Amino acid sequence: MITEFLTIPGVLLLLGCFLLPLLPQKVRSTAFLIFPVAALALIMMRPDGFTITGVIGSYDLVLFQMDALSRVFGMIFAITGLTAGIYAWHIKDLSQQIAALGYMGGAMGVAFAGDLFTLIVYWEIMAITSVVLIWARGTDESIKAGMRYLIYHVLGGGLFFAGILWHFSQTGSLAVESLDYEFTIANMLMLLGVSVNAAVIPFHTWLSDSYPKATITGAIFMAAFTTKTAVYVMIRMFPGWEILIWFGIVMTLYGIFYAVVCKDIREILSYHIISQVGYMVVAIGVGTDMALNGSAAHAYNNLLYKGLMFMAGGAVMYAAGTSRLAKLGGLGKKMKWVFALYVVGGFSISGLPLFAGFISKGMIIDGAGYAGYEGMMLLLLLAGVGTFLSVGLKLPYFTWVYDAGNKIDLKPIPINMYIAMGLSAFLCIFYGVYPNALYTFLPHEMDYNPYTIYHFVEIMQISLGTFVVFWYFREKLKGKMVLVLDLDWIYRKAAPATRLVFVKGVNDFFGVAEKWILNSANYLNRKFDNPMPWLNPFTDKKNKADRYSSSMEVIMSFIVLSFLVLSIFYLM
């Protein structure tokens, strides 16, 4: 029984958090890699429909449940965990290693949770462990950003949990299953909670605020797990919720807008995560088999190439000590491998043929088109233009090609970083060239071939058009030392006002109320200490309430009599 529990990937990885500190420092980074590999093996071993159940109190919990959708997400979480683990192999910081392993365990647990209680436990583990990866950077701004991140996720997790409890009390079901498209309070709370983790606008600021401030290696893990587990839960619980199409479209374009105007490698990539998750959210809203497959496939590919891009950006930051475009430039000769590997990621995300993005992005866009959302399809294509412009052209151009005349001393990059990037780049090209390697694992049956002439013409023309405009306007997108405001302004810069309303206002209200209640209690206490003098104006003022007096006897008798009469009436 116990050994069976240990074969749950989430449990296995969380157990690793306790084993890792017991190992000597030298082997710890290598031992870390065993866990995602073991988890991947366990995932591939289990057949569809396999479950592990347990009982806690009077609740029957499904601790592990395997089906095609869970498998595809579990696989990519394990692969990303492995590549990110290789990338972070040179890090000796135990707290980061434990946090990353626990974070991975949380994500894996969510992907295989068979009931909502199990799911929310892993969900919260993810929030708590991931914040360590921000704090580990150690700078003042990352500690503050980590706190904001934690508060946001505690709020989101709380909303989700409240929704689950409400849902359970109404339906009695804890199953992770698709919900009817009804705006009940329980559904709204759960959707809101999941939306926070999926970085749906306007709940996205935790992402763009904290990811650029995390450690170089921590950011790779963060870019992978939180938003994609939210996408997984959305595919499970909210497929075909039409409102998600609109949310998703706003996310894709909003992310693109900020990716175009931001001037820091990791900020650009962070905002671009929001845009990419937007594609997946649109597909979940469309809800057809093809669109849902597209959403899962895009999440899968996105982990590969977004991870690769974060790794390349991190390598630049590691070598040059900064990720601001204004302080970089002309690194193409000195870092040609990192440049080449980044370009693989950039081409993948832009959906160029032979790269991973090509095989999944088209599924989402065509899925929207086939379902009759042609306007949406054009907006998604427009977002694709922005993708190629911002992360396919602008970011690499101003990092590696354009020479701003900055004198940059480069630190050599550890070899393990190259291995991790090389592995990711290989997988990007592998799935791009051989899409069926991914398609066979997708949850729904479908007949889709990305390599059609129409598709080729479509993406090549869009990319060529975008490239020409970029080349003509490239000076306009040059790196500057500038900060671009976002909605986190509300709780950062407007903190005094926010505090006035939500902290001081509430505090003052309670203060006044408390004072009033105490004063009135005092007053009543004084008055009723000796009520005779004011109850009966004819008594002696010195009359004591606790001593016998004839007037007291009259009052008491009257009260007793009233009780008697009332009870007789009641009995009749």
Residue 179 CB contacts under 8 Å (≥ 6 apart), including other chains? 187, 190, 237, 238
CB nearer other proteins, residue 124 or residue 486: 486
Torsions phi, psi for 238 (to 5 deg): -125, 35
Burial of 105 by CB count in 10 Å (0-12 exposed, 13-18 middle, 19+ buried)? buried
Beta-bridge mates of residue 55: 60
Helix (H, G, I), strand (E, B) or coil at 565: helix
Whole-Å CA distances, 26 to 83, 91, 133, 528, 560: 19, 11, 21, 76, 85
CB nearer other proteins, residue 113 or residue 379: 379
The least distance separating other proteins from the CB of residue 252, rounded to whole angstroms, comes to: 12
CB nearer other proteins, residue 115 or residue 209: 209
Q: How many CA atoms does the CB half-sphere of 299 hold within 13 Å?
A: 35
Residue found by looking up tokens 């190259």 in the block: 418
The least distance separating other proteins from the CB of residue 456, rounded to whole angstroms, comes to: 7
Give the Cα separation of 505 and 513 in Å (integer).
12
The least distance separating other proteins from the CB of residue 442, rounded to whole angstroms, comes to: 23
Give the Cα separation of 479 and 411 in Å (integer).
22
Helix (H, G, I), strand (E, B) or coil at 115: strand
The least distance separating other proteins from the CB of residue 14, rounded to whole angstroms, comes to: 35
Q: How many CA atoms does the CB half-sphere of 78 hold within 13 Å?
A: 24
Q: Which two tokens stand for residue 134?
A: 């921000």
Give the Cα separation of 28 and 12 in Å (integer).
16
CB nearer other proteins, residue 20 or residue 385: 385
CB nearer other proteins, residue 65 or residue 350: 350
Query: Taking a C-beta distance cutoff of 8 angstroms, is the pair 519, 511 a contact?
Result: no
Q: Which residues in this chain contact other proteins in the complex, by CB under 8 A? A: 141, 256-257, 260-261, 369, 374, 377-378, 381-382, 385-386, 389, 453-454, 456-471, 473, 476-477, 481-486, 492-493
Give the Cα separation of 256 and 391 in Å (integer).
9
The least distance separating other proteins from the CB of residue 491, rounded to whole angstroms, comes to: 11
Tell me which residue of 282, 330, 273 sits closest to 305, measured CA to CA. 273
CB nearer other proteins, residue 34 or residue 151: 151
The least distance separating other proteins from the CB of residue 429, rounded to whole angstroms, comes to: 20
Give the Cα separation of 198 and 180 in Å (integer).
20
CB nearer other proteins, residue 431 or residue 470: 470
Give the Cα separation of 263 and 252 in Å (integer).
19
CB nearer other proteins, residue 21 or residue 465: 465
The least distance separating other proteins from the CB of residue 453, rounded to whole angstroms, comes to: 5
- In 88-115, alpha helices (H): 94-112
Peptide bond into 412 cis (omega under 30): no
The least distance separating other proteins from the CB of residue 463, rounded to whole angstroms, comes to: 7
The least distance separating other proteins from the CB of residue 137, rounded to whole angstroms, comes to: 16
The least distance separating other proteins from the CB of residue 457, rounded to whole angstroms, comes to: 5
The least distance separating other proteins from the CB of residue 326, rounded to whole angstroms, comes to: 9
CB nearer other proteins, residue 473 or residue 528: 473
> How would you classify residue 55: left for phi > 0, otherwise alpha for psi between -120 and 50, otherwise beta?
beta
State the SS3 of 34-66: HHHHHHHHHHHHCCCCCEEEEEECCEEEEEEEC
Give the Cα separation of 323 and 215 in Å (integer).
12
The least distance separating other proteins from the CB of residue 24, rounded to whole angstroms, comes to: 41
Beta-bridge mates of residue 264: 324
Give the Cα separation of 186 and 514 in Å (integer).
34
Q: Which two tokens stand for residue 119?
A: 């799911």
Alpha-carbon 315 to chain mean position: 24
CB nearer other proteins, residue 22 or residue 485: 485
CB nearer other proteins, residue 493 or residue 515: 493
The least distance separating other proteins from the CB of residue 449, rounded to whole angstroms, comes to: 15
CB nearer other proteins, residue 490 or residue 560: 490
CB nearer other proteins, residue 250 or residue 304: 250
CB nearer other proteins, residue 365 or residue 532: 365
The least distance separating other proteins from the CB of residue 418, rounded to whole angstroms, comes to: 27
